[in-house]
Amino acid sequence: VSDALGEEKAWFDNHRVYSKLPPGLVGTPVLIDKLTRILFKSMRRFLPQIKKEINEKRISMQDRLDELGVGVPVEEAERVQMLWTLITDYCEMLKNTIRGKYDRKLQRYMVHVPNLGPHPVSGGSQVRGILNDFLSEYLEVAITADMSDEDIDRVICMHEGDSLPGFPSPDTFEFLASPHLQKLSIPSVECVHQISSALDLLAQRLARAVFRRFPAMAESVLGITQNIILRETDATRTIVEQQVACHVGYLFTNDPSYLIEHGSMAPMWSHQSPPSPPEEEKTEPGITEATVQTVKTRSRALYQGAQRMLHRSGNAKRNQRYSGPFITTIRKRLDAYFAITVRNVRDSVPKAIGFY
């Protein structure tokens, strides 16, 4: 190396161009000095960032090692004991979370689970929120708002059959109420699936927390839990569908308010106009008053005749045979019965979901 450096120096010194350059521009020692300065500048620039990344990685790895804890037991009995302890903790935490009970084990496990937020919502709160919102959009709905008097009258006439007019068939009530009662079936099934999805997400979160040291075991336990949730979801959906079918397919109620307010025809006439005041004692009219009275009587007769003619022509276009109070009573009964059915379904379906 020394001989090569000497030959290089002699070549640069004897060269007709490079020999005239200022010193410190050519030769291996000059190149070494320049590269050393570039290396020092790069190290001064990037070394703090490298040290920072190394420290962060070391800290994250140490945290992960702390989460994993000590080594896995070697003895078979100890391994079985640890396995049953983890499974028992998982089951108890799942039940306590659904029921809303405070569990210290849950808090200890959840400390190491990221992305849960400062105040995560428990599984029981999520389930209760879904059940509270069930059919809430039907609480203040009047099903007769879109029905006209002509529509109700036409349905009554359509189901009269050979019976006397004025005695509507029960099929009229069922025909008007059934399309709206059928709307309760789909939300009931959707509520079952929403509860199932909430429980599935809760099981995934708890499995990651409890079995974070053993990912393969977490997948196995989670698979068993999901199979149980799916099996119970199918059974619960069948029960809910049967309960809703009972409310929709058979019209019956023992609700006291309905029986009192809509169980008789008396309320239909309760809003009639009050009786007219007693008439004043009549006196014998004079000649002028008798003439005026005769003119009024003839005018009234002509007016009533014209009204009867117009009424006949109107009946040709619209054949409504039932009075306004009768149609209003039918409307009130439909709205009251739908409200009672919604209330009963909102009570029975969440109970079935919670029990089964």
Q: What is the distance between the alpha carbons of residues 222 and 200, in angstroms, rounded to a whole number?
A: 9
DSSP H stretches of helix in 211-323: 215-249, 256-262, 287-317
Task: Work out the angle at residue 20's Cα, subtended by the Cα atoms of residues 14 and 23, and round it to the nearest 5 degrees.
Answer: 95
Q: Output the CA torsion sign for 212, 214, 66, 60.
A: negative
CB 144 within 8 A of CB 328: no
Continuous segment of H or E residues that includes residue 10: helix 2-14
- The C-alpha R_g of the chain, in whole angstroms, comes to 45
Q: Nearest to residue 109, comparing CAs of 201, 209, 202? A: 209
What whole-number percentage of the chain has pLDDT above 90?
16
Q: Model's pTM, two decimal places?
A: 0.61
Mean pLDDT calculated for residue range 142-153: 82
pLDDT of residue 21: 81
Given this model, what pLDDT does residue 36 score? Answer: 92
Q: What pLDDT score does 317 carry?
A: 43
> By three-state DSSP, how is residue 153 classified?
helix
Report the candidate in 243, 246, 251, 249 with the shortest Cα–Cα distance to residue 188: 243
The band of 287, judged by pLDDT with boundaries at 50, 70 and 90, is: low
Q: Which of 185, 333, 193 is nearest to 247 (CA)?
A: 185
**Length of the chain, please?**
356
- The residue type found at 207 is A
Going by C-alpha positions, the residue among 169, 177, 14, 202 that lies closest to residue 91 is: 202
pLDDT score for 238: 93
The pLDDT confidence band at residue 233, using thresholds 50, 70 and 90, is very high
Q: What is the mean pLDDT of residues 286-315?
A: 64
User: What pLDDT score was predicted for residue 323?
Assistant: 60
